[in-house]
Amino acid sequence: MSNLSDREFFALAVLLYGVCSIYSIFLWRNGFRRDNRIVYLFLLAGAGLHTIAMAKRGFSFARCPVTNLYEATAFTAWAIVALYLGLGLIRRLRFLGAFASPLLFGLGVFALMPKLDIHGPQPQFTHGLSSLHASLTLLAYGAFGLGAVAALMYLLQARDLKLRKIRAIHAHLPPIERLEHVAAWLLACGLLLLSTGLLLGIAWLKREKGVYLQADPKILWSGFVWCLYFGLLILRGWYGQGGRRFAWGTVVCFGFVLMTFWGFNLLSDIHNP
């Protein structure tokens, strides 16, 4: 396997994410009453291949592998699976894998589209500051993604309880309140990572271009995303807008990030020169 390219290692990881997604269908059909160790092991193996792919790409180009849409999408997927594996050490939270695996599979299939892996004559990120900025912001999106998974699980549990379905009582899931706390904790971590990443981006702009801010589409989009998640957490913490409203807001915000990230990245002269 050492002769495989980084893209081939990534394709194998995506294949494992796909197998895990198929198995997750049976978990949904049985109300999550089965042990989720199989899902965890599949995602652990996929994460191992995913990490090898990113390491091979990074060493081959001698830089942080986040310079085009393929690499950015792969890094976001890696952040999601890494966060899940950490949370999955808590047995009661392993159920998140049944929702994270389809998300990982979809991101992986999208990333493997040939036209996304295009390189310019020179690497875009040649300095540690910009690479750290990109890494932290993509980790933030990974945290937002896993938070959306927890919020979606909350909504399904709330629906089952409203319909008085037995599986909502007997399923191996944490209490519905804990799901909301997990989602809020992940969003808070993501917002902290995003804030740090944006501050590093501002420092890079000052050093390279002599300005703190620039009317770049991706910069404006990033600021808007920060405001969305900050507002969501403020509404939950200070105004008591938790429960279903908070969960729907979490899912909708991440859906917005997924649908607009690549478009604004392509419009950006800084991120896509």
Residue 150: the pLDDT is: 83
How far is Cα 105 from Cα 13, in angstroms, rounded to an integer?
9
Looking at per-residue pLDDT, the higher value among 39 and 96 belongs to 39
138: left (phi over 0), alpha (psi -120 to 50) or beta: alpha
Looking at the domain assignment, is residue 213 inside a domain?
no
DSSP labels for 207-235? Answer: HHHS-S----HHHHHHHHHHHHHHHHHHH
Looking at the domain assignment, is residue 28 inside a domain?
yes
SS3 content of the chain, % helix, strand, coil (to 5): 80, 0, 20
pTM above 0.75, yes or no: no
State the residue range of the domain holding 101: 1-126
CA distances, 198 to each of 141, 192, 223 (Å): 13, 10, 8
| Least trusted range by pLDDT, from 22-36, 53-67, 151-165, 227-241 | 22-36
Q: What angle do CA 266, 271, 273 make, to 5 degrees?
A: 80
Length of the chain: 273
Looking at the domain assignment, is residue 67 inside a domain?
yes
Looking at the domain assignment, is residue 161 inside a domain?
no
Looking at the domain assignment, is residue 113 inside a domain?
yes
Tens of pLDDT along 111-143?
888 777 776 544 444 445 666 777 788 788 888
Looking at the domain assignment, is residue 180 inside a domain?
no
Task: Answer yes or no: is pLDDT of 251 > 90.
Answer: yes
Beta-carbon count within 10 A of 260 CB: 13
Tally of domains in the chain: 1
Q: Which stretch of DSSP H or E encloses residue 70?
A: helix 69-87
* For residues 176-205, average pLDDT: 85
Looking at the domain assignment, is residue 4 inside a domain?
yes
The answer to whether 203 and 234 have CB atoms below 8 angstroms apart is no
Residue 61: the pLDDT is: 67
Q: In this prediction, what percent of the chain has a pLDDT beyond 70?
A: 79
* For residues 234-246, average pLDDT: 83
The answer to whether 20 and 50 have CB atoms below 8 angstroms apart is no
